[in-house]
Structure 1
Amino acid sequence: MMNWEQLLSLRRAGDTNKRLRKEQNETRLGFEVDYDRIIFSSAFRSLQDKTQVIPLSKTDFVHTRLTHSLEVSVVGRSLGRLAGQRIIEKHPHLKTIHGYQMNDFGAIVAAAALAHDIGNPPFGHSGEKAIGEYFSIGNGKRFKNELTPEEYQDLVKFEGNANGFKILTEDRPGIPGGIRLSYATLGAFMKYPKESLPHKPTNHIADKKFGIFQSEKAFFEEVANELGLLPTGNTKNKSFARHPLAFLVEAADDICYTIIDFEDGINLGLIEEEYALEYLIKLVKDSINTAKYHSLQTRADRLSYLRALAINTLITEAVEIFLNNEEAILAGEFHQSLFDKSRYEAQITDIIKISIENIYQSEEVISKEIAGYQMLSHLLDTYTNALLPEKGEPESNFNKLVLKLVPNVIEYENLDLYGNLIKICSYISSLTDSNIVNSFKKFKGLRI
């Protein structure tokens, strides 16, 4: 059984002394520092030019990864505070002995939620697939026999969640431990606290994907052990039960992409307004003020009203499910997302189905994902050919020129093959949608 005292650890990478909550400066709490460090990081700022739904959209009201992440963090803060208030009431020693407050839970979930997309490649999930297929069926397949099965799996199933953990924790020259977040926030960030193999060993929600590359495995174990996460793997392949607050981070993301992506689709004209509003009304029928709703004159106002009600409805629902299943979650025996047990599951499913059909599979999205797929594959080929040429092949002048442009973040001379490959993938993932377009044009000779 996991316990909240360990799960709320304020420890950071490199600490030699234990950080106690009751000794924290109330004007600048450790968990709030996590939020500040994330929001001022360059990796977070790059999300302003990364796809949420519509790649390279020039429409002001369509969400980017940055606006989506900010909204998820706001929802996460509410979820954490509401849950934290009830948890402290149930376990009063957390406050009386250790000094924890309900806002600590909100700060942890808000910070983890803020960072939840920080490792995602450009062009959405098609970016992950482009990187993975480069190594599984593309030119990167040539490296397979030189890698361990786990290292190769990291590449062919390249995962934004694992890359996010890498970004948050990776040593950089003069900056050991990355941006040094508290272990509690890192635990809440890890929706999939396992390495890439075995692939989907169970139907448990935490086994759906993976959250750790081989390059961060040792530090991942340190964080998991400090937090008291329950081991679920074997001595070779490490996996753990989720940090309980990771369920709230996931719920915050689910709420935002379900409701706000749907709203984007309506605003873009991809989903018919009257048809769409019916689905939102079904979700909020118990709380809607019909007189107020009918008094609203514009589509934007009607959407805003229903969105606020829907988000509030789902926040309340998620917290109740979380608290009702607290013991199972602490025991590592809760195997679903919170909304899999929601009374609104049918309404949520209907909304997501419409979004898939009308937004995610729209011609605009698919055509731009195809272009992004090609550009990412070309950049991977360009960098791997320059940094890691095939043995026996003469070095081309083009590759020599590319090496002169290799960014400092890829310290290829000091790394093994796997380290080089994962660095290249992580670097390309850090680029924005526009960066990818510009780099592609440069390497193709279309821009000087």
Structure 2
Amino acid sequence: MMSWRRLLSPRRLGHTGAEPVTPTRNPFQKDWDRVVFCSAFRRLQDKTQVHSLPESDYVRNRLTHSLEVSSVGRSLGAQVGEVVAQRAELREDLGGITAAEFGHIVAAACIGHDIGNPPFGHFGEATVQHWFRSGAGAVYLEGLSAAQRADLLAFEGNAQGFRVLTRLQNWRDAGGLRLTCATLGTFMKYPHGSLAADPAHPKFGFFQAEADAFAEVADAAGLLALGGGRHARHPLTYLVEAADDICYSVVDVEDGFKLGRIGFDDAESRLRRLLPMLPPRYGEIEDKPWRIAYLRAKAIGGLIDQAVEVFLRHEQEILAGSFSGDLLSRTPSAPHLAEIAGFTRERIFETRDRFQTEVMGGEILVSLLEAFCAAHAAFERAGGNEAELAPRDRALLRLMPRQPDPAAARYDWLLDVTDHVSGMTDSYALKQFQRLRGLQ
């Protein structure tokens, strides 16, 4: 059984002590601030959420989506924390943590939940996987360990996000942003490495390069070891997942309406199904976009309450690591959310424009991966002697954020390349591709 006191650990990754939890600005609020002020978070403003390079400024991108998820996550955490913190048997065990701190932890984990996503959304993630599995990248996996190969064959935005937070940002300081173990544990949606992933759903939470960082987080937060290299989720991770699911389910309808791909009647009817009754004030709103925005807000509020109720009902199972599935699938709104997902997939996702953008995105990412990996491979064959490289390869290596280390193992420089490419925004990746092709 996991303990709330350890789960809420304010100890920072790479530190031995823990910061005091004060009401003015606690360590978990600082976690949120550190993510918001880092460059990887700012780049989310030009990364695909649903619509790659959208034609409208009114739809969400990864940055606005992350802010909305964090807002919902704060409400979910605070509502759960209010009940947990009031239980007499837990008051001393919480070590001074209040409902507000629960909210801050979930909000901090939410704000960074998409920070490792590559350009062009999940399509970009799948493109990197396929390039290593069946494309020109397969040749570079020779000589790697089974776990290292699995990291690249199933390249995962969640694992990349953990790498960004714990290594790539503020890289001179061990621990990256040095977030608290409570926040990093909550961030970890899949608390296992690539070899321990379910073959049917090969999601994982950290690369082998960050295995030690995860072990430190798991130990400090008291994540329950399940065997086979797997751990139970941090209980608050279920709230991060719920916040993400609530936001993209509901706001996809609003974005589809704003783009003209979903009519008003279709958008209104689907959002109304998420409400037990139509709010009295709804009839006072005449403007259709404001009507949809009002229903979206009410739907989100209702789903927050439902998710909290499910969490509290199953708290002991969650702490024991025996809870399966997600929170929203057990709410009364689950059938309506499933219907919305199918409807938006047809109207928003499976469109000719989207497929055209994905063709472009695939060409961009494959070309960038091929160019940078070929340059590093040439550097490896030359034993680190740049004088032996073709001028183009030398120039490509100069474009890397850090100059290559002649002593670097192949796995390390492959991660350097995926770091560089996955960290690009959609627009920057397009610009680099055009320069690579001599078009700009």
Give the TM-score normalised by structure 2.
0.95
Partner of 1:137: 134
2:305 counterpart (289, 299, 316): 316
Separation in 2, partners of 1:346, 1:60: 31
Q: Secondary structure at the match of 1:53?
A: coil
**Is structure 2 residue 219 aligned with structure 1 residue 225?**
yes
Q: Secondary structure at the match of 1:170?
A: helix
Q: How far did residue 98 of structure 1 move?
A: 1.5
CA contact (8 A) 1:5 1:94 kept: no
Partner of 1:389: 378
Q: Secondary structure at the match of 2:310?
A: helix
Partner of 1:16: 16
Separation in 1, partners of 2:191, 2:224: 10
Partner of 2:278: 288
CA contact (8 A) 2:81 2:98 kept: yes
AA aligned to 2:436 is F
Compare 366-375 and 103-112 and name the one that shifted more: 366-375
Seen in structure 2, the aligned counterparts of structure 1 residues 406 and 26 have a Cα distance that, compared at 3 Å, is same
AA aligned to 1:187 is G
Q: How far did residue 337 of structure 1 move?
A: 0.6
Partner of 1:256: 247
Q: How does 1:390-405 map to 2 (within 5 A)?
A: 395-405=389-399
Separation in 2, partners of 1:374, 1:139: 13
Q: How far did residue 390 of structure 1 move?
A: 9.1
Separation in 1, partners of 2:32, 2:196: 33
Partner of 1:422: 415
Separation in 2, partners of 1:398, 1:427: 18
Separation in 1, partners of 2:340, 2:177: 37
- Specify every segment of 5 or more residues in structure 1 that has no aligned partner in the other structure, as ranges: none
Q: How does 1:178-257 map to 2 (within 5 A)?
A: 178-200=176-198, 209-234=203-228, 238-257=229-248
**Is structure 2 residue 149 aligned with structure 1 residue 152?**
yes
AA aligned to 2:426 is D
Q: Secondary structure at the match of 1:232?
A: strand
**Is structure 2 residue 5 aligned with structure 1 residue 5?**
yes
Compare 121-130 and 295-304 and name the one that shifted more: 295-304
**Alignment RMSD (CA, Å):** 1.8
Separation in 2, partners of 1:307, 1:441: 39
CA contact (8 A) 1:287 1:309 kept: no
Q: How far did residue 132 of structure 1 move?
A: 0.8
Partner of 1:74: 71
Partner of 1:266: 257
CA contact (8 A) 2:369 2:417 kept: yes
**Is structure 2 residue 428 aligned with structure 1 residue 438?**
no
Deviation readout 1:145-178 (Å, 9 max, x if unpaired):
2111111111111100000000000165532210
Runs of 4+ in 1 over 6 A off after TM superposition: 390-394
Q: Secondary structure at the match of 1:61?
A: coil
CA contact (8 A) 1:53 1:365 kept: no
Partner of 2:95: 98
Separation in 1, partners of 2:63, 2:88: 36
Q: How far did residue 186 of structure 1 move?
A: 0.2
Q: How does 1:295-374 map to 2 (within 5 A)?
A: 295-374=284-363
Deviation readout 1:291-314 (Å, 9 max, x if unpaired):
532332111111011101100110
CA contact (8 A) 1:44 1:115 kept: yes
Partner of 2:385: none
CA contact (8 A) 2:85 2:94 kept: no
AA aligned to 1:430 is G
Separation in 1, partners of 2:35, 2:330: 32
Give the TM-score normalised by structure 1.
0.93
AA aligned to 2:294 is Y
Q: How far did residue 378 of structure 1 move?
A: 0.4
Separation in 1, partners of 2:94, 2:225: 28
AA aligned to 1:239 is R
CA contact (8 A) 1:81 1:103 kept: yes
> Percent identity, aligned pairs only?
41
Q: Secondary structure at the match of 2:435?
A: helix
Separation in 1, partners of 2:365, 2:132: 12
CA contact (8 A) 1:168 1:178 kept: yes
Seen in structure 2, the aligned counterparts of structure 1 residues 91 and 114 have a Cα distance that, compared at 3 Å, is farther
AA aligned to 1:246 is T
CA contact (8 A) 1:128 1:160 kept: yes
Q: Secondary structure at the match of 1:434?
A: helix
**Is structure 2 residue 401 aligned with structure 1 residue 407?**
yes
CA contact (8 A) 2:4 2:93 kept: no
Seen in structure 2, the aligned counterparts of structure 1 residues 173 and 105 have a Cα distance that, compared at 3 Å, is closer
Q: How far did residue 375 of structure 1 move?
A: 0.1
- Specify every segment of 5 or more residues in structure 2 that has no aligned partner in the other structure, as ranges: 383-387
Q: Secondary structure at the match of 2:224?
A: coil
